[in-house]
Amino acid sequence: MILQQELISLNEIFIQNQSYGNEHNPDIFSYFDKGSYVCLTAPHSTKTFVAKHLKGSDLYTGAITKYVAQHYNYSCIVRNKYMPETALISDFILQNRLENHFFLDIHGMKNGNGFDLAVGTGYFKPELYEKQLQFIDNLALKYVINNDNYTGKIGLTGRLEKATRKANVLQLEWSKNYRDIFNSFDNVNNVTVPFIAELSSNIENEIC
């Protein structure tokens, strides 16, 4: 059973200083190694500097990512703080030679586009992620959510694919109705967390 208070406590790390994060942490990103093939990432768990401007945080993504990683034993990377300069999670991954993971990149998206979850495949055609996307479709039916796939050349997905030429990263963009640990806790509890955990397990077991 998910404890709402635990999620709230994890979230406090990221929302401190008006979501600028912990300015005293010497590290922009933290990697928590569980020895898993799957690695969950939350690149916008705090505010970030992107494309020469400040981007708001993807609220609650850091807490959800850390919760799933801790309770289901998966590695994860989270952003600890805002920096007034470009600091990309893809660079962190490459500099620390972590690119052999399969990454599930957890993001937020605005409500109102008709989808609860949008899945990005970056530069690569969806066919290269056929098994994973089929499993995601099955999970969407199981958890009764609307989902869609898209391609895009930005973010961790596109940058990491371009650098490594590997199809090993999917961007999962969740609407706020499936991230809000205060006003939509039932959705987080009954859909988002088990969805990410099941998807992670499927990908992990495919390779192990």
pLDDT tens digits along 129-162: 999 999 999 999 999 999 888 766 556 778 899 8
Please write down the HEC assignment for all residues of 93-150.
Answer: HHHCCCCCCEEEEEEEECCCCCCCEEEECCCCCHHHHHHHHHHHHHHHHHHCCCEEEE
Cα(149)–Cα(53) distance, integer angstroms: 27
Lowest average pLDDT, out of 27-36, 37-46, 144-153, 161-170, goes to 144-153
Rounded-to-integer distance, Cα 163 and Cα 93, Å: 11
Does residue 172 carry a pLDDT above 60? yes
CATH of the domain at 83: 3.40.630.40
Dist. CA 9–CA 6, nearest whole Å = 5
Amino acid 152: pLDDT: 61
Q: Is the pLDDT of residue 40 over 80?
A: yes
- SS3 call for 185: helix
Segment 95-105 mean pLDDT: 97
186 pLDDT more than 90: yes
Q: What is the pTM of this model?
A: 0.95
Residue pair 57/90 in contact (Cβ under 8 Å)? The answer is no
pLDDT of residue 103: 97
Per-residue pLDDT band at 52 (split at 50, 70, 90)? confident
Beta bridge mates, 75? 39
The answer, yes or no, to whether residue 197 has pLDDT greater than 60, is: yes
Q: SS3 string of 106-118? A: EEEECCCCCCCEE
For residues 154 and 125, give the distance between their C-alpha atoms in angstroms, rounded to a whole number: 14
Burial label for 130, CB within 10 Å (0-12, 13-18, 19+), is exposed
Query: What residue type is assigned to position 42 of the chain?
Result: A
Query: By C-alpha distance, which of 177, 195, 203 is closest to 141?
Result: 195
Q: Give me the half-sphere count of Cα atoms (radius 13 Å) on the Cβ side of residue 2.
A: 24
Backbone angles phi, psi at 106, to 5 degrees: -90, 120
> Is the pLDDT at 1 greater than 90, yes or no?
no
* Pair of tokens at residue 89: 């999670």
- Residue 67 CB neighbour total at 10 angstroms: 26
Domain count, the chain: 1
Which of 4-8, 108-112, 114-118 is the most confident on average? 4-8
pLDDT of 208 reads: 55
Supply the range of the domain harboring residue 146.
Answer: 4-207
